[in-house]
C-alpha cells in the first residue's frame, strides 16, 4: 500500500511538470510505460494458473 501511495505521488508530479512546462509529449510516454508495466505484472501473476491448465 505504501508503494501505491508513492506511485501516485510520482505520477502527480510528472503531470504537474507536464502542465507547468507545456511538455505534453511526456504524458503519452508515461501512459505507455504504465501500460507495459501493467501487462508485465498481470502476465506474471496469471502464468502459474495457465500452466496448471495444461
pTM of the model: 0.63
Domain segments of the chain as ranges: 2-51
Residue 44 has pLDDT above 70, yes or no: yes
Q: Which residues does 34 contact at the CB level (< 8 Å), separation at least 6?
A: 11
Residue 53 is predicted with a pLDDT of 58
What band does 36 get if pLDDT is binned at 50, 70 and 90?
very high
CA–CA distance, 1 with 5 (Å, rounded to integer) = 6
Q: Which residues does 24 contact at the CB level (< 8 Å), separation at least 6?
A: 18
Amino acid at each position: 500500500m505504501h508503494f501505491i501511495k508513492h506511485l501516485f505521488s510520482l505520477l502527480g508530479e510528472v503531470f504537474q511538470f507536464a502542465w507547468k512546462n507545456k511538455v505534453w509529449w511526456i504524458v503519452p510516454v508515461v501512459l505507455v510505460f504504465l501500460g507495459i508495466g501493467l501487462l508485465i505484472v498481470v502476465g506474471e501473476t496469471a502464468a502459474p494458473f495457465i500452466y496448471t491448465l495444461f
